[in-house]
Amino acid sequence: MAGYTKLMRLTNAGVAIVDEEFLTNQDADPIIVPEAVDDIESNIALQQFSRAIAEVIQQFPDPPSSDAWLAKEIHRALGLPRGIAMDVRVWQFLSCVAHPEYVWYRWSKAGQVSKERFLGGIKRNAFARLWWAAEVMKNGDDYQVEPCFDSQDLYEAVFGRSFSKYPPAAKAFIKAVSNQERGVIRAVAKDFNLMLSTFVLEDLATQQVEKLIAERISVRSSSG
């Protein structure tokens, strides 16, 4: 961690530093130049977040198996308002400046890490993908994120679609399709997302949402 104890955002100057050397050399120089980061309006401490990162690297020798655990921990640790969480630059700060060692731990393959895991959006950034799953699946003090990470196809089918921002719909979708084949999951997600042009999800009861999804599963399963 490059000496930061509170959440910041990455600047364009910081993005420019994430070059080939940064992506292929785990021991590349950390991003420490002042112009690489900028303040955000809220004062969000990182100490608890940093403890969670250290713990996950120590306790989970199989990185993918840590996703559900860490999603809960970083959601609790950061306490982010959604408005700040929508700013991709705060996630880029966390992945590129605060804790790039986690990105290497979780996503390194063949000696390098995809640029998307450092600079990608909500679906791809190493930390954003975890936080948003916890945010959407949270039910009071309970987190129900495990099904989100059972399959990368399921995760991307949900969190790559606009309906993922409406928790009742995302929860209903994940529950309904978790045992379906990859092609059905993707097709039903596409169908369900298109329904947004016809239905206002916020106006539908949970049972109605579940019925719509079940109907699309039936259609897509029979056509496959």
**Which has more pLDDT, 192 or 102?**
102
Reported as a pLDDT band with limits 50, 70 and 90, residue 66 is very high
- In the structure encoding, which two tokens stand for residue 121, read together? 């959006």
* Local confidence band at 116 (pLDDT 50, 70, 90 cut-offs): very high
Q: Is the pLDDT of residue 1 over 70?
A: no
Single pTM value for the model: 0.89
Rounded mean pLDDT, 141-167: 86
Whole-angstrom distance, CA of residue 121 vs CA of residue 115? 11
Per-residue pLDDT reduced to its tens digit, 4-42: 899 999 999 999 999 999 999 999 999 999 999 999 989
* Cα 180 from chain centre: 22
Which residue from 96, 72, 73, 94 is spatially nearest to 85, judged by alpha carbons? 94
> Average pLDDT for residues 81-108, to the nearest whole number?
96
Query: Region 85-105: what's the mean pLDDT?
Result: 97
pLDDT of residue 224: 58
